[in-house]
Amino acid sequence: MRVAVVGLGKAGLPLAAVIADSGIEVFGVDLDSRKCKMINSGKNPIPEEFGLDELIAKHGGKRLKATSDYRDAADCVAYIVIVPLILDELKNPDFRVLESAFREVGKILKKGDIVVLETTVPPGTTENLVKKWLEEESGLKLGEFYLAYSPERIMTGYSISRLREFPKVIGGVDESSGKKAYELYLKFIPNLHLVSNARTAEFIKVIEGCYRDVNIALANELFKIANELGVDFYEARDKANHEYCHIHLPSTGVGGHCIPVYPWFLIKEMEKREKFGYVKLLKVAREINDEMLNYWAEKIVLECLKVNKPLNKVRICIKGITFRKGVKELYHSRNLALARLLIEKGLDVRVYDEMFTPEEVEELGLKWGDPEEADVVFDCFELKIFTKSG
């Protein structure tokens, strides 16, 4: 039995490795041929992923073959697609990468094959768009092939253990697709749950992200109120939380490819249907999180006023620009946006991040700076402002 995994990114590669480790021969398809070469020579391109080094060393180029050519995967019986879905400038989903991947799969699709999408998508995507793309390219009709959805639930750094321990859901666009895909996934996912249909599985993944986004917005809002009232938010949170109360941590906002993206799937779909009243909370949560930069910018400027220098001469260091500590990823990073916002205001801003070299920082169009040499340092992960005394 041969399985193809299309997309060998942070979600796809750990999955491909886990499938290979279960004894199944895997063809990993990724357009990045350098990455394919690395994998085939047993080297792990995502070193921060705990446990992945061993799996790639063991299976890379052997049971897990990486390729940039879909035709190499032509005699697989199952195609798992896990490529990025981003938002366009108007916050609508940009399906181009997804469409292109499925049209390629469609070209090599054979009767009886199973196709499973893992990328987080707006509910309805698999049964509407994916089905159409596959049918158009393959000339087959659903029923001649099987189509299902199973959302990745990984977290960079913990993906292997997530795949092996965390509950995973799967749903088909029809009953036999659900059953077939469930049977396939059981071979490598131990904690697997079949749900009513693909749309339900899609919805499950999106609402998890919405829960996080809304609760981070709540934490940010309560953090601002606590400061206004002169209460230590962290002490209050620590004592407020218990079995039934899960107040999250405040932040500079929410970045990355996941949480700030998923609420828009529901917001845009409901707006299309003129159900504006159904997404009020999701929308305001997005606003609160995205506007946290203004809150921090004001705090930083107020701190700069304490330095005995003209405001535009105060050297500010923004420490930490990735969207999350320890993950070298800048997509929708609010920390990076905060640095740019302060620069736009005409302030002297330097940037420091332990994951970036000074050269890499300059390539982003920013000035690198040592926190030790700044007058005011804002630590984006600790949410703390340090001012040089004197």
Contacts with a second copy, residue ranges (CB under 8 A): 123-124, 166-167, 169, 193, 195-196, 199-200, 203-205, 207-208, 210-212, 214-215, 217-218, 221-222, 224-226, 228-232, 235-237, 239-240, 242, 244-247, 266, 269-270, 273, 275, 277-282, 284-285, 287-288, 291
Min CB(269)–a second copy separation in Å: 8
Contact by Cβ (8 Å): 113, 78: yes
Q: First vs last Cα of the chain: how many Å apart?
A: 70
Closest to a second copy by CB, 203 or 378: 203
* 205 counts as catalytic: yes
Task: List b or e across 28-37, with b for residues whose CB sees 16 or more CB atoms inside 10 angstroms.
Answer: bbbbeeebbe
Closest to a second copy by CB, 122 or 320: 122
Q: Spot the catalytic one: 36, 76, 258, 304.
A: 258
Across the chain, which distance is largest between two alpha carbons, in Å? Answer: 75
Q: Spot the catalytic one: 65, 180, 205, 319.
A: 205
Min CB(82)–a second copy separation in Å: 19
Min CB(226)–a second copy separation in Å: 6
Residues in the chain: 390
Residues 321 and 327: their CA atoms lie apart, in Å, by 10
Query: Which residue from 251, 248, 385, 221 is spatially nearest to 324, judged by alpha carbons?
Result: 251
Residues 174 and 178: their CA atoms lie apart, in Å, by 6
Closest to a second copy by CB, 141 or 280: 280
Contact by Cβ (8 Å): 131, 144: no
In the chain, the amino acid numbered 150 is S
In the chain, the amino acid numbered 357 is T
Min CB(208)–a second copy separation in Å: 5
In the chain, the amino acid numbered 370 is D
Closest to a second copy by CB, 57 or 225: 225
Residues 88 and 69: their CA atoms lie apart, in Å, by 27
DSSP state of 371: G
Contact by Cβ (8 Å): 64, 28: yes
Min CB(283)–a second copy separation in Å: 9
HSE toward the beta carbon, residue 187, CA cutoff 13 A: 17
Min CB(216)–a second copy separation in Å: 10
Closest to a second copy by CB, 10 or 212: 212
Instruction: Name the pairing type of β-strands 168-172 and 192-194.
Output: parallel
* 258 counts as catalytic: yes
Closest to a second copy by CB, 16 or 192: 192
3 state DSSP class of 171: strand
Residues annotated catalytic, as ranges? 205, 258
